Amino acid sequence: MCGIVGYIGDKFVDSLLIAGLERLEYRGYDSAGIATLNKGKLRIRKTTGKIQLLKEKLKNSPLGGELGIAHTRWATNGEPTTENAHPLTGCKKSIAVVHNGIIENHIEIQKELIKEGHIFTTDTDTEVIAHLIEKYIDGNLKTAVQKALKRLKGSYALAIVSEKDPDKIVVAKKENSLIIGIGENENFVASDISAISSLTSNIIFLEDGEIGVIEKSKIEIFNGEGKLLNKKIRKLKWQLRRGPRKDGYEHFMLKEIYEQPRIVKSVLKRRVFKNKRGVHFKNIGITPDKLLKVNRLVIQACGTSWHAGWVGKYFLEKYLRLHTEVDFSSEFRYRNPIAGGDTLVMAISQSGETADTLAGIRLAKSKFVQVLSLCNTLESAIDRESDGTVYLYAGPEIGVASTKAYTAELLALFLFTIYWGRIKECISEEEAKNIIEELGKVPYLMKKILDNQKEIIECAEKYYQCSNFLFLGRGFNYPTALEGALKLKEVSYIHAEGYAAGEMKHGPIALIDDNLPVVCIVPKDSVYEKMLNNIREIKARRGKVVAIATEGDEKIKGYVDHVIFIPKIKEEFSPLLTVIPLQLLAYYIAIKRGCNVDQPRNLAKSVTVE
Ligand code: F6R
């Protein structure tokens, strides 16, 4: 969603903030803005569209100054116009606020402030914060912010500057991440570590209800009652030394699809014992003793990570006979879920910042349920707040549509199941070795798919103008159908539905005509014949079928319009392969339609609002 960066120090504030925004642009990209205090005078530049446009505006007329705050927006309240872009100010234009989150009672506060004479100029919920601070400020920005926060309902990460109390940035947070980076005679503020991790590795994580006052050579953190706190400085476990690069690929999405074989290989190297008879998950925060006591697993996640959870469920049930439920975090968090003493909650998240997933973790913990997360982003909120974390090690994912993180999530689920199965003694050493050997083939098999894309490109060319697609799969590839449909709609804006193939006759079959491409995931597995029955039903209604099938399956050719072959692999690992042609299909269709695949409209990489 939105991103925040702030800086106070001697460096050139415009370029430092723009560089930070560029690192955060994947979070939201409908508008952006920057505010600085230059010799105590507030200056603001804003624009709709990409950071590049803001950069150009600043090139023509830089702001300069001693400190500044900046924001990249993903609209929640109010259209993405220049007026609605942050930073936002009050009537006197002497206070600037950047905000991530949603103020739920803004209408009520706005009405009150309008009665008092305040004039509002935007459609945002954030503007009330600037006016409230303006109302309360008497020379001390921190005290005014403190008073304003007491009025707000909702979620926020805030950075505020004021002409009335210059030389400082005041920050606050509730349910949205805000971090402070400590430098030498300079300090930083950001919503994401990635915005400032190349500049410092000394970080303070602000907690809900805390207020930070950041000066050039001093940082003070207070609790909601104004008591000065002694906060721990954390040393980052990692540093991004350079910004994201496409390394010769036209788009991040394509680069990340191609990265998958290498990631699988390196994760296997990291996790698998040298003798290949087991895997290790050291220091994950949940002990083998605790895992032994678990009889019920609840996986909660969103979007693509939720799809990975479904593959995980099938796998865990098969090998561990473990009762596993998969829930949308946005449902789990509001359902007062049952917490037995033998339950483990597993959160899955690429970004580690997804608001609903984080709320699900907090809810589980409030019921004294242990939470283990699978997460790609070290030191993210989900990583920090879980009892334990299994890192995905997929590297930063920049393309908004998740690709490599999905296969890394699947791999983590497979490997963790082996680890858990060995602890529970329901997977023998021999069985573990067989699974590991099968997984060891995956990088090579993935590469084979990537090396032969002719049929995928032909399908993209043939069907890119269609308005609807259906994706069908069964068993381990039911989630693949969901993921294929999600990828296509995200990047190409084509309406697509993913369905369990057996459910087709209960409704979706009505959609089938000779204009509807139906992508059927039909590898040679235990449900192959069932899938063939479904394909016959589609063909009987003149639907166009694209099959994702196993190499050597000559029979399938007689049933369908196109076949995209994937190499043979054990049924349960096929989702690692079948998804790749679907990622590529979505990519090529989107390119043919002229869509921005890396930054599709209306989406954001980290969904930090609920
Ligand atoms: C789809 C996609 C989203 C995310 C979802 C959860 O391509 O990227 O559906 O999977 O927003 O995000 P994380 O995994 O970061 O919690």
Closest CA to 131 of 87, 84, 89: 89
Whole-number Å distance between alpha carbons of 549 and 561: 12
Instruction: Report pLDDT for 242.
Output: 66
463-521 residue pLDDT tens: 999 999 999 999 999 999 999 999 999 999 999 999 999 999 999 999 999 999 999 99
Ligand 1 pocket check for 351: Cβ under 6 Å: yes
CB 112 within 8 A of CB 120: no
User: Residue 539: CB partners within 8 Å, gap ≥ 6?
Assistant: 545, 559, 560
Whole-number Å distance between alpha carbons of 347 and 401: 19
- pLDDT of residue 238 exceeding 70, the answer is no
Q: Give the pLDDT mean for 361-372.
A: 94
65-120 residue pLDDT tens: 999 999 998 877 778 889 999 999 999 999 999 999 999 999 999 999 999 999 99
Ligand 1 pocket check for 298: Cβ under 6 Å: no
554-568 residue pLDDT tens: 999 999 999 999 999
Instruction: Report pLDDT for 315.
Output: 97
Per residue, the 3-state secondary structure of 133-145, as one string, reads: HHHHCCCCHHHHH
- pLDDT of residue 240 exceeding 80, the answer is no
Q: Give the pLDDT mean for 39-52.
A: 92
What tokens does 186 get? 């300079």
Q: How far is the CA of 84 from the centre of ligand 1 (A)?
A: 26
Q: Give the pLDDT mean for 116-136.
A: 96
Closest CA to 97 of 145, 38, 164: 145
Q: Which of 256, 305, 409 to mutate to test the pocket of ligand 1 (most atoms within 8 A of CB)?
A: 305
All structural domains of the chain: 3-235 (3.60.20.10), 252-440 (3.40.50.10490), 450-592 (3.40.50.10490)
- pLDDT of residue 241 exceeding 80, the answer is no
- pLDDT of residue 139 exceeding 80, the answer is yes
pLDDT above 70 covers a percentage of the chain that reads 98
Whole-number Å distance between alpha carbons of 176 and 387: 19
Q: Which of 1, 354, 402, 579 to mutate to test the pocket of ligand 1 (most atoms within 8 A of CB)?
A: 402
Between the alpha carbon of residue 481 and those of residues 381, 446, 501, the distances in Å are: 30, 18, 9
Could you tell me the pLDDT band of residue 25, with boundaries at 50, 70 and 90? confident
237-251, 293-307, 338-352: least confidently modelled range: 237-251
Ligand 1 pocket check for 356: Cβ under 6 Å: no
Instruction: Report pLDDT for 49.
Output: 85
Instruction: Report pLDDT for 60.
Output: 87
Atom of ligand 1 nearest to the CA of 377: 15
Could you tell me the pLDDT band of residue 239, with boundaries at 50, 70 and 90? low
- Sign of the CA dihedral 282, 355, 296, 371? positive
CB 379 within 8 A of CB 193: yes
Long-range contacts (CB closer than 8 Å, 24 or more residues apart) made by 133-139? 133/90, 133/95, 133/97, 133/160, 133/162, 134/90, 134/91, 134/92, 134/94, 134/95, 135/90, 137/95, 137/162, 137/164, 137/165, 139/164, 139/165
CB neighbours of residue 64 within 10 Å:
15
- pLDDT of residue 356 exceeding 90, the answer is yes
- pLDDT of residue 388 exceeding 90, the answer is yes
Closest CA to 182 of 209, 159, 203: 203
DSSP sequence for 561-609: SEEEEE----GGGTHHHHHHHHHHHHHHHHHHTT--SSS-TT--SS---
What letter represents residue 99's amino acid?
H
Q: What angle do CA 207, 213, 216 make, to 5 degrees?
A: 125
419-469 residue pLDDT tens: 999 999 999 999 999 999 999 999 999 999 999 999 999 999 999 999 999
pLDDT above 90 covers a percentage of the chain that reads 84
Instruction: Report pLDDT for 538.
Output: 96
CA atoms within 13 A on the CB side of 609: 22
Instruction: Report pLDDT for 105.
Output: 96
Instruction: Report pLDDT for 377.
Output: 92
**Pairwise pLDDT comparison (377 vs 78), residue with the higher score:** 377
Ligand 1 pocket check for 408: Cβ under 6 Å: no
Ligand 1 pocket check for 354: Cβ under 6 Å: yes
